[in-house]
Structure 1
Amino acid sequence: MSQTRLFFTAGKQAAEQFFTLLELEFEEDGLPLASIEVDEAAGIQEISLYVDGDPADAERRMTSILTSHGHAEPVSREELPDVDWVARSLEGLKPVRAGRFFVHGSHDRHLRHIDDLAIEIEAGLAFGTGHHGTTAGCLEMIERVVSNEKPRNALDLGTGSAVLAIGIAKLAHIPVLATDIDPVATGVAEQNVRFNGVADLVNTATATGFDHPAFAANGPFDLIVANILAGPLMDLAPEMARHLSPDGSLILSGILDRQGDAVIAAYMDQRFRHVTTLHREGWVTIHLKH
């Protein structure tokens, strides 16, 4: 099958914003996305999306996102030879430090420090490599909350790659339930949990709602982390209140800066108290207590 690279260039700040938006847009498609610096002096980065088969739909969606955010230059196309571009794109994916956490691919194992809480995740079908501002923001907030509150159990709702569940298990050494509505994501999460050596602490489950028996069997939870999207998070506020322990903590992300106040308001309606908000790369991570 033919493969096409769709690419464009932008300044560093704009490129980071576009990468985040495109990662959200194409996460369910499983299309590799890469960013490289092409002009260090001028701070210019090139972002590429790799598409198998007909690239027309992906190009249309990509162009729509760029133009709606003020990027006037057209998206360029390059027809590619038969190469494993997922592996190639990983070569340029830099590791991420978020507090004591170090999220990396296999190609960066040699960069781990002895005192790191290292999480090895390959970019792939499930969202959440640590390179997205929401994932890194959640890891920073998790470290703060775990240090201050010493939770006894946790829930990672919408786990994706399970990077957050793995982080909690490695940091707190407590049981974690990691759920996702997508069975593909759950399968990837289970593989990552085993690979990172926390299978004795993290239980994965495919669950489309809180009526799944895993929630009753493992909850209520002292800590719930949900890195999803603002709309679903607001809808889930009543269920979150029912499944969080008294005086438990809730960490929410997947929320744009402009959406933060609305999400907080939805949870205050359920008698949550806003503790703090962490801003990172145009996204917010919110800490609430019940």
Structure 2
Amino acid sequence: MNSSEPSATYRASVAIGDEQAARHVLDVLTEVFFDGEAAVAAFERPDGRWGVTLHFAQSPDQAGLRELIGNAAGTEIAAGIVFDTVEAKDWVKASLEELVPVPAGRFVVHGQHDRARVPDNKLSIEIEAALAFGTGHHGTTRGCLLLLDHVLKAYRLTHVLDLGTGTGVLAIAAAKALRYQVLASDVDAESVRVARENARANGVGDLVKVIRATGFSAPDFPREGPFDLVLANILANPLKQLAGPMSAHLAPGALVILSGLLTPQAAGVIAAYRARGLVPLRHHKIEGWSSLLLRSVN
């Protein structure tokens, strides 16, 4: 994460017996929570059960949510709901713990055990769940990869930055597709180590340069820039705070892909970047999360 000011979203997690039950709960939740009120996802756990997670921009009505899930799956399941907050610095780490193969345009994010399932015509990004500070399973990462795939088809890019890289998924994807060096940064030392390991494991260790930095404070940014593409999958408040510093490191006509924000937060983020001379081109909404593509008109 790349902001000194704290930020958080609220999370509710619950384990459910099987896929059918989880999907029933998911259907109920998506009917109750209208577009953007909550980000809802279901995923298979290593123990064979299914997990359902919800993320909220505001503190949820815990009693109401327990009642809702209790009606859908039983009071015993509802009693097991865990409520917590996800701080900005832990955002990518906490997005989802498990990894299944996730296609996103030309990319497929997967674990080692699913290596053989990746089609030959796709670009493989292998990330082990045990090391995951963020995986392509999460709607924010998938949204970024879909936008990256679109951008790569339409524009020629040579200077790319992945800000708040986490596991390095986005930097690895860009490096594999472009075969140019990509700069990746994170404020967390462990994320820097993991991203470097993942880049080497994916055969682009020589193309992904990972540094530890808060915001744009490191000398590498002016040295490696100006950038014609910046990817930043973090949180809404840090993204707004970074609009000014980021705009100073963009090449004319540069593209910016932003994610990690709930859909109701998108308008505020767009406004912050529009004030810095960036206009929105695309807006993907996946599982209650928004991913934005903007372009500098300065």
TM-score if structure 1 supplies the norm length? Answer: 0.76
Distance 1:217 1:255 in 2: 29
Aligned pair in 2 of structure 1 residues 68, 201: CA closer, same or farther (>3 Å)? farther
Q: Render the CA deviation track for 1:183-229: whole Å, top value 9, x for unaligned.
A: 00000000000000011211000101312011122111110000000
Distance 2:64 2:257 in 1: 28
Distance 2:130 2:47 in 1: 22
Distance 2:100 2:61 in 1: 24
Structure-2 residue corresponding to 1:180: 186
Alignment of 1:218-257 (within 5 A): 218-257=224-263
The answer as to 2:79 corresponding to 1:74 is: yes
Q: Is the 8 A contact 1:126 1:185 kept in 2?
A: no
In the TM superposition, residue 152 of structure 1 has moved relative to its aligned partner by 0.9
Task: Kindly tell me the number of residue pairs found equivalent between the two proteins.
Answer: 241
Structure-2 residue corresponding to 1:130: 136
In the TM superposition, residue 67 of structure 1 has moved relative to its aligned partner by 2.3
Bigger relative CO (Cα 8 Å, ≥ 6 apart) = 2
Q: Render the CA deviation track for 1:120-151: whole Å, top value 9, x for unaligned.
A: 00123542210100001000000111211111
Structure-1 residue corresponding to 2:26: 12
Q: Is the 8 A contact 1:230 1:255 kept in 2?
A: yes
Q: Is the 8 A contact 2:195 2:210 kept in 1?
A: yes
Structure-2 residue corresponding to 1:259: 265
Q: Render the CA deviation track for 1:67-99: whole Å, top value 9, x for unaligned.
A: 27723321179xxxxxxxxxxx98x74210001
Which among 278, 287, 290 is matched to residue 293 of structure 2? 287
In the TM superposition, residue 156 of structure 1 has moved relative to its aligned partner by 0.1
Q: Is the 8 A contact 2:40 2:288 kept in 1?
A: no
Q: Is the 8 A contact 1:104 1:121 kept in 2?
A: yes
Structure 1 stretches of 5 or more lacking a match?
A: 1-5, 21-32, 39-44, 50-63, 78-88
Distance 2:204 2:60 in 1: 38
Distance 1:47 1:134 in 2: 18
Alignment of 1:162-201 (within 5 A): 162-201=168-207
Q: Is the 8 A contact 1:8 1:74 kept in 2?
A: no
Distance 2:60 2:123 in 1: 35
Q: Is the 8 A contact 2:66 2:81 kept in 1?
A: no
Letter in 2 for 1:137: G
Letter in 2 for 1:166: I
Distance 2:62 2:186 in 1: 32
Distance 1:124 1:186 in 2: 16
Q: Is the 8 A contact 1:221 1:248 kept in 2?
A: yes
Q: Is the 8 A contact 1:125 1:185 kept in 2?
A: no
Q: Is the 8 A contact 1:169 1:198 kept in 2?
A: yes
TM-score if structure 2 supplies the norm length? Answer: 0.74
Aligned pair in 2 of structure 1 residues 218, 74: CA closer, same or farther (>3 Å)? same
In the TM superposition, residue 176 of structure 1 has moved relative to its aligned partner by 0.6
In the TM superposition, residue 34 of structure 1 has moved relative to its aligned partner by 5.2
